[in-house]
Amino acid sequence: MKILLINGSPKSSISSSELLINALSEQLGSSNEYVTIRAMGLSKQEFLDGFTGVDAAVVVFPLYVDGIPSHLLRLLYESKDELKHIAPNVVIYAIANNGFYEGEQNTLALNMMRHFCNSADVQWGQGLGIGAGGMLSAAPIGAGPLKNIGAALKSFSHNINNKISKDNLFAQPNFPKLLYKLCVHLVWRQSARNNGLKRKDLYKRL
Same domain, 159 and 184: no
Same domain, 104 and 195: no
With b for 16 or more beta-carbon neighbours within 10 A and e for fewer, the 183-194 pattern comes to ebeeeeeeeeee
Instruction: Check the CA dihedral 184-93-53-20 and report its sign.
Output: positive
Same domain, 169 and 190: no
| Beta strand extents in 39-110 (DSSP E only) | 56-62, 91-97
Same domain, 160 and 184: no
Same domain, 169 and 188: no
Same domain, 150 and 196: no
Longest dimension (CA), the chain: 55
Can you state the angle between helices 107-120 and 70-79, rounded to 10 degrees? 20
Same domain, 171 and 182: no
Domain CATH code at residue 120: 3.40.50.360
Question: Other C-beta atoms within 10 Å of 168: how many?
Answer: 19
Same domain, 120 and 158: yes
Domain containing 195 equals 176-206
Specify the number of domains making up the chain.
Answer: 2
Q: Which of 33-42, 112-121, 131-140 has the lowest mean pLDDT?
A: 131-140
Instruction: Say if residue 118 is exposed, middle or buried (CB neighbours under 10 Å; 0-12, 13-18, 19+).
Output: exposed
Residues 38-65 have a mean pLDDT of: 96
- Convert the pLDDT of each residue in 146-185 to its tens digit: 999 999 999 999 999 999 999 999 999 988 878 877 776 7
Whether 18 shows a pLDDT value over 90: the answer reads yes
Same domain, 126 and 201: no
Q: Which of these, 98, 95, 114, 73, lies nearest to 157 by C-alpha position?
A: 95
Global pTM? 0.90
Same domain, 144 and 181: no
Same domain, 145 and 181: no
- Predicted confidence at residue 204, as pLDDT, reads 78
- Convert the pLDDT of each residue in 68-109 to its tens digit: 999 999 999 999 999 999 999 999 999 999 989 899 999 999
Mean pLDDT of the chain: 92
